[in-house]
Amino acid sequence: MQIYNVIIIGSGPAGYTAAIYTARANLDPLVLCGYQPGGQLTLTSEVENFPGFPDGIVGPSLIEKMQKQAEKFGAALVYKDSTGVDFSHKPFKVMAEEEEYYGRSVVIATGSSVKMLDVPGEKQYMGRGVSTCATCDAAFFKNKRVAVVGGGDSALEESLFISRFACVVYLIHRRDKLRGSKIMQERVLKNEKIQCIWNSVVVRINGDRIVNGIEIKNMIDNSISVKELEGVFVAIGHQPNTGVIKQYISVDDHGYIIADASGKTNIPGIFAAGDVKDHKYRQAITAAGSGCIAALEVEQYLSNVADAG
């Protein structure tokens, strides 16, 4: 039975950075990339805020470069989804369909998934007017009209940030009052660029190669109205990808892995990195930094285990 020094579950910026660092440390990591590697960066068109790319880079290209760098240093990549784990004893076991892999340590970098509207046009115009990240994409909508869908703190933060660039921000919420913190509500309601559309949901995103409008349904009288605009930001929440893991690893009330700043979880030898433990920042660069930290901690952990043995 082959036992890997480290198994990395996930192939976004956190997973690939952990792979690069552990591979360069001669730990011969195994990376379970999944069938669709890359995480949320694959849903992003132009990335302008990742250091080292002054002209920007499209999300899938950035992920491809990370992948090649990990492979260059000797990381083994398996393009299967993790379907189960057993962290009850060592070596730790990670399942991927019919295969079982064993590791002395594990880095969980499975990320989080954006909750989507699931309406016509949403997938079609993703990256062409539809976005899930204001920090990433707001600057592309300077002096344009955009909509933000949601009513919690994430939606309020997105609306305020986008208002620095857009001429009008329509904040669309299915209820008659916002759910975010009081101070955030006050800031939004005082912002002259933000117009709240209450008791409403988006039922269709229209476009012609790029977004040019949305159809909105009023929840009170079921009437349909149309707003002409250039961008739609979906901000109805994220779901951490901890489905097969949380029976062993401690998670918070929202499902995010509880880990300290070094990525250590409640089980020695199991580390977490990236958006699966970060519900606040959710940036490619913070995920990459988190993957670096977890990798350095893995190296130290394995060294200590070897010394103890």
Residue 11 phi, psi (nearest 5): -135, 35
Q: Is omega for the bond preceding 91 within 30 degrees of 0, making it cis?
A: yes
Q: How many residues does the chain have?
A: 309
Rounded CA gap, 244 and 283, in Å?
24
Q: Is 136 labeled as catalytic in the residue annotation?
A: yes
Q: Is 167 labeled as catalytic in the residue annotation?
A: no
Q: Is 137 labeled as catalytic in the residue annotation?
A: yes
Distances (CA, A) of 254 to 82, 241, 258: 21, 11, 10
Q: How far is CA 177 from the centre of its chain?
A: 27
Catalytic residue among 136, 196, 275, 278: 136
Catalytic residue among 33, 133, 196, 292: 133
Q: Is the C-alpha dihedral spanning 229, 231, 235, 238 positive or negative?
A: positive
Q: Is 207 helix (H, G, I), strand (E, B) or coil?
A: strand
Catalytic residue among 137, 196, 275, 292: 137
Structure token digits, residue 160: 């305020």
Q: List, by residue number, the catalytic residues.
A: 133, 136-137
